[in-house]
Homo-oligomer: A and B are copies of this chain.
Amino acid sequence: MNKKELIVQVAIQVFRDQGIEKTKISDIVKAAGIAQGTFYLYFPSKLALMPAIAEVMVEKTLSIVQETVQDNAPFSVKIEQIIDAIFLVTRDYHEIQALIYSGLASTEHLREWETVYAPFYKWISERLEEAREQGIIRESIYCDRTAKLVIGLVESAAEQIYLYDSEQDDQARVQKAEVNEFLIHALGIKF
């Protein structure tokens, strides 16, 4: 089996279980069932894991969003589904999300993250584009920039809920509704 992927997958799991700060490389290799030195064959340091994790996380997020959003649903429903999906991912992985957003993982790898995040931005942007062409949202929207604002808004809203606790179903429901309302107006969605 591919050891590099194994390390990344296991690292995500261990980070979720015991927190990022407290995770030692020795914890990761133990969980992965490999030798300490093997880690260093694939990653020069603990920090170097981060871009790979970010990539996996974005893939995971995007695929959950894509699974949740129904192609033939009306745009207003799609927005609700996008919100649902992002809240879902945030609930389960907020610690890792936080890491990715914080400038933590040292400046050297920041550049890579831009590319890593690109597919997610692009997908949302395309949905906005579709809606705009169909006249369902206001025309003045710049889809690329707005996609980033939407993702930023929903993720930050979800983080506000899940930062302290993953068990916040009621709070989450209210917050999602509020975000939905917020977005309906922000995007000028017509029904």
Contact = CB atoms under 8 A, between A and B. Distances in A.
Interface stretch (A6-14, A56-64, A66-74, A154-162): A154-162
Q: How many copies does the complex hold?
A: 4
Interface string A121-160: 0000000000000000010101001101100110111011
B186 A182 contact: yes
A51 to B, nearest CB: 14
A37 interface: no
Contact-residue bracket for chain A? 35 or more
A175 B94 CA distance: 25
A102 interface: yes
Contacts of A170: none
A185 B138 contact: yes
A100 B71 CA distance: 37
Contacts of A155: 156
Contacts of A138: 185
Nearest to A178: B145
Interface of A: 19-21, 94-95, 98-99, 101-104, 106-107, 110-111, 114, 138, 140, 142, 145-146, 148-149, 152-153, 155-157, 159-160, 163-164, 174-175, 178-179, 181-183, 185-188
